[in-house]
């Protein structure tokens, strides 16, 4: 019964979305109900999800996703946007896709209920057109631990997830694209001096030491100049929070595309500052996504 009620809420929310999102401060994502149950993604469902997302990114066909998502097409900022909210009895996240956006960036906030402000910061990037695709979670990353049997509801860490399926499909169609993933951490919980002193930790989600400078160096310089904070790179400058267990990072590493995955860990102070200052948040996201100012 609870799933039926939640599905009704999602249906109502999707039906009442404004046709012109210029009137909305945070478009759509805050209107997607938070799930209280996470369904483990089976191997067949993972294949179906990836094929469905690939069809969406390749030719705009979203029919395959209707098995798992409530879908709507809306006009926003004079662009057609496809919005997808996971069925509440699945808890597989929410996706926005603007096929007319030629900026090859997939912006992700997989822990919006745990890493405070990451969802709001990523929303700003989506609003100002810094990404072609945006995806966030619809259930707390640890909610599945209370289920029986337990399940990994961390969509950026689980062996299979809709986030992983969407990422693999998107990078297949955007071979030179960049996936930027936002996270947060507490300095007091860091195990190294470098970690405790860092304000932002950047990584490609791998322990590999690249022989040449990667995009991380440019992002580091850009964020340091903009924010005046201590920005470090993993693994050469700090030895923790490298995102090496991240499922998207591992997939891109398997394809030799680690440099196209940007894992951004922000301290609470940085997140508080960016959430309170929209203009600076936009500039910081431009640094992260490689967009021009």
Cβ neighbourhood burial of 15 (10 Å; 0-12, 13-18, 19+): exposed
CA angle 34, 107, 162 (to 5 degrees): 55
| Average pLDDT of the residues in 167-178 | 97
* pLDDT at site 151: 98
More confident residue, 5 or 233: 233
The helix/strand/coil state of 82 is: strand
Residue 3 above 70 pLDDT?
A: no
What is the pLDDT confidence band of residue 292, given thresholds at 50, 70 and 90? low
What is the pLDDT confidence band of residue 23, given thresholds at 50, 70 and 90? very low
Question: Is the pTM of the predicted complex or chain greater than 0.85?
Answer: yes
Residue 5 above 90 pLDDT?
A: no
- The CA distance from 26 to 94, in Å, is 14
Which residue matches tokens 């745990």?
114
Q: For residue 244, give the CATH number of its domain.
A: 3.40.630
Q: Report the percentage of the chain scoring pLDDT > 70.
A: 90
Q: What are the tens digits of pLDDT across the range 119-161?
A: 999 999 998 999 999 999 999 999 999 999 999 999 999 999 9
Range of the domain at 112: 2-289
Domains of the chain: total: 1
What is the pLDDT confidence band of residue 115, given thresholds at 50, 70 and 90? very high
What is the pLDDT confidence band of residue 33, given thresholds at 50, 70 and 90? confident
Residue 26 above 70 pLDDT?
A: no
214: left (phi over 0), alpha (psi -120 to 50) or beta: beta
- The CA distance from 289 to 202, in Å, is 13
- The CA distance from 23 to 139, in Å, is 27
- The CA distance from 260 to 92, in Å, is 24
| Average pLDDT of the residues in 200-211 | 96
Q: Report the percentage of the chain scoring pLDDT > 90.
A: 81
Close Cβ partners of 234 (under 8 Å, ≥ 6 residues apart):
201, 202, 203, 240, 241, 242, 243
Looking at 21-30, 203-212, 220-229, which range is the least confident one?
21-30
Residue 256 above 60 pLDDT?
A: yes
């Amino acid at each position: 019964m609870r799933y039926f009620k939640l599905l009704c809420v999602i249906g109502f929310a999707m039906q009442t979305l404004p046709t012109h999102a210029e009137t909305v401060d945070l478009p759509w994502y805050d209107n997607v109900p938070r799930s209280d149950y996470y369904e483990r993604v089976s191997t067949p469902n993972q294949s179906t999800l990836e094929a469905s997302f690939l069809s969406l990114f390749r030719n705009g066909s979203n029919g395959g996703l209707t098995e798992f998502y409530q879908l709507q097409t809306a006009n926003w900022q004079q662009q057609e946007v496809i919005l997808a909210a996971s069925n509440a009895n699945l808890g597989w996240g929410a996706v926005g896709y603007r096929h007319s956006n030629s900026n090859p960036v997939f912006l992700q906030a997989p822990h919006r209920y745990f890493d405070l402000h990451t969802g709001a910061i990523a929303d700003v990037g989506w609003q100002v057109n810094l990404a072609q695709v945006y995806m966030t979670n619809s259930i707390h990353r640890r909610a599945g631990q209370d289920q029986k049997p337990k399940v990994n509801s961390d969509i950026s860490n689980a062996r299979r997830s809709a986030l992983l399926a969407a990422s693999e499909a998107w990078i297949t169609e955007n071979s030179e694209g960049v996936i930027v993933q936002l996270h947060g951490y507490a300095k007091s919980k860091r195990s190294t001096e470098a970690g405790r002193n860092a304000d932002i930790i950047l990584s490609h989600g791998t322990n590999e030491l690249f022989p040449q400078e990667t995009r991380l160096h440019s992002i580091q310089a850009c964020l340091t100049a903009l924010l005046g904070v201590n920005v470090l790179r993993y693994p050469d400058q700090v030895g923790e929070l490298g995102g090496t267990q991240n499922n998207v990072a591992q997939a891109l590493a398997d394809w030799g595309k680690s440099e196209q995955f940007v894992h951004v860990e922000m301290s609470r102070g940085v997140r508080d500052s960016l959430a309170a200052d929209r203009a600076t948040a936009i500039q910081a996201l431009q640094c992260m996504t490689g967009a021009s100012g």
